[in-house]
Amino acid sequence: PLKASLSLSLLPYAFLSFHARLRLPISFPTSNYTHICIKISYISHLSTVYFPSSSLTIIMSFSRLLFASLIAFCLATFASGATRLPDDEVEALRDMAKTIGKTNWNFSADPCGGQWGWTDPNPVKGSENAVSCDCSFSNGTICHVISIVLKTQNLGGSLPPDLGRFPYLKEIDFSRNYLNGTIPAEWGAMPLVNISIIGNRLTGPIPKEIGNISTLASFTVEFNQLSGVLPQELGNLTRLEKMHLSSNYFTGQLPATFEKLTTMKDFRIGDNSFTGQIPDLIQKWTNLEKLVIQGSGLSGPIPPGIALLEKMADLRISDLQGNGTEAPFPPLTNMKNLKTLILRSCNIIGPLPVFVGELPISKTLDLSFNKLIGEIPSSFSGLRKADSIYLTGNQLNGTVPDWIIKDGESVDLSYNNFRNESSCLQRNVNLFGSASMGNVSGSTVPCLRSFQCPKQFYSLHINCGGKEATIEGNTYEDDTDPAGSSRFYQSRTNWGVSTTGHFMDDDRSSDSFTWTNATKLSANTSALYMDARLSPISLTYYGFCMGSGSYTVTLHFAEIMFTDDKDIQQPWQGKLVQKDFSIQEEAGGVGKAIIKNFTAIVTGNALEIRFYWAGKGTNWAAYFVPPSENSSSNGTSAGTVVGIVAAVVVVIFLILGILWWKGCLGQKISMRHGIF
């Protein structure tokens, strides 16, 4: 007898046809449509077969059948296990899995079925795992892959070059993995709309072929090790709305062809090594809403044409190169949508413009480390509801406005020339070093004038961001104050710490200003490396009641988190002693110590160590002063820590050993110019 097996998952009424010979009108009087397997014996005439369990009536009419072997009919609908994805795309997925290191795709299931590891039903933000298909082809019988999103999946392979095997692919997102190698030039032949390969280990230049993707709207390659000059062909991407190139090693000038990118809305090039001035061409990007040029290597001044970008909501420019490029405040009057304004260390001179206080800034205003003078305009009271205001490191004077003390959400006025303040911290306002110096006994900071030194100290020890710890006979003092975006903390002994800045774009629900090490270091003093203090803009550790003399400062560096550290600037007792210091390169690897020696002259009883983020990388540090032979053995802890924004955090540990010896007293050093 001839037998046929039908695997059915059917709608209430269906009409099935096989080779125009077998017709099965099927009806289900119940709504319980399960997967049914029906075995049919050879029948040579009109027959009616009843299937009581499902009230299934099958009427079959056969002409003469000439079959002698088993025939299996497997009909797939929306609930079946068969795939509607073409075999060549399935094989392309198999090959891609091998290339990128994806090990949990289950090819016994339909890649377009939304199951079996192909799509997470409840994805965690930033860790999405999804292969998406368009199944509208051939009346819903054929699917094609249109999107592959694999974020934070620990992929350790390389980028697949043969995306052409997915003819309908529009999106590729391999963010935050460990993919290495280069960006394939073959991608330039694909009709992609979104390319996101943020946070990998990619090297080499951007292929000029990427400029052939006329459909491309988003190109994000931040936080890699890409290098070289940007190809001028990228200027052909006339539909591009988002380009993120930050935290790479790009060089050269921005191509003149970029003036054609008039659809650009979000452009970020910070933390690179570009050369030349900020180009005037950006004034043609009148749709621009966000511009980030922080630590990019570009020089000032900020072009006045920036005033034409009236849709701007988030403007961040910092650390412009060139000491002789001072310029007045750029004309931003027409930016009526501006919520965030960062113009830090941009060589801006002159008074604070009145119009800045009239801008709708509700998030962040950061004008730190410029050469701004005069009083804070009364119009700035319109910014009282801004989340953060940073004016640290300028030459502002006069009286601190009452609204700042009473209503300011988070305001940092440290290192200016305001009239003497009685406290280093008032509510949420950091006033450390905000007043003119002068001869204050026991310290050089007027807000500490009430502190009476019990004695002179010749040693400092701090466990930065951590609890008290005893290492090799030295007790490192507790430094677990929660800190904040504009805060000064004074210890119970003879040191204090000033922190400035908050973390931006890091996807954290709240800021934390400490970090706990989860790695293993090849160092004998590992207990000192377990905790770190973080600060996104600047951080100053201030030792007072210090004995005068010449101190040899020994810095012990070690990277304790990631392998992609960047740069640090250290203004040391009024002098910049280290810039763009790569710890991994200097130490020859991760978790290895590197030691640097510096000399600091202490007069006026104060020692100041200040760290400043120059727009590149992320850092964490600590210092100590071991006792000299002629001083008391009762040392007091001291330390410093710096942490930087980004989607990645690199933590660096520094131990600064300072040896004191009598005589050789140097001239007085002004703490006021410590950052310039």
Write out pLDDT tens, residues 156-211: 999 999 999 999 999 999 999 999 999 999 999 999 999 999 999 999 999 999 99
Instruction: State which H helix or E strand residue 100 sits in.
Output: helix 87-100
**Residue holding tokens 């009083």?**
375
Q: Sketch out the chain's domains with CATH numbers.
A: 4-74 (no CATH), 348-436 (3.80.10.10), 451-673 (no CATH)
At residue 587, φ and ψ (nearest 5 deg) are: -85, -15
User: Using CA atoms, how far apart are residues 89 and 303, in angstroms rounded to an integer?
Assistant: 49
Q: What is the pLDDT of residues 311-349, one digit of tens each?
A: 999 999 999 987 668 999 999 999 999 999 999 999 999
- The two tokens of residue 195 are 């390319």
pLDDT for 60 equals 40
Question: Burial, 268: exposed, middle or buried (Cβ in 10 Å; 0-12, 13-18, 19+)?
Answer: buried
Residue 587's pLDDT is 60
Report the alpha-carbon distance of residue 481 to residue 145 in Å, rounded.
51
Q: Is-contact 285 308, C-beta < 8 A?
A: no
d(CA 119, CA 132): 8
- Alpha-carbon span 147 to 112, nearest angstrom: 11
The whole-number pLDDT of residue 586 equals 67
pLDDT reported for residue 639? 32
CB atoms within 10 A of CB 334: 15
Q: How far apart are CA 365 and CA 340, in angstroms?
A: 6
Q: 445, 453 in Cβ contact below 8 A?
A: no
All residue ranges of the chain with pLDDT < 50 are 1-81, 438-443, 563-573, 618-676
* CA nearest neighbour of 175 among 149, 210, 203: 149
pTM for this predicted structure: 0.75
Q: What is the pLDDT of residue 198?
A: 97
CA distances from 88 to 85, 140, 165, 414 (A): 8, 18, 7, 64
CB 223 within 8 A of CB 196: no
Is residue 179 within 8 Å of residue 202, measured between CB atoms?
A: yes
> Which SS3 state, helix, strand or coil, does residue 188 take?
helix
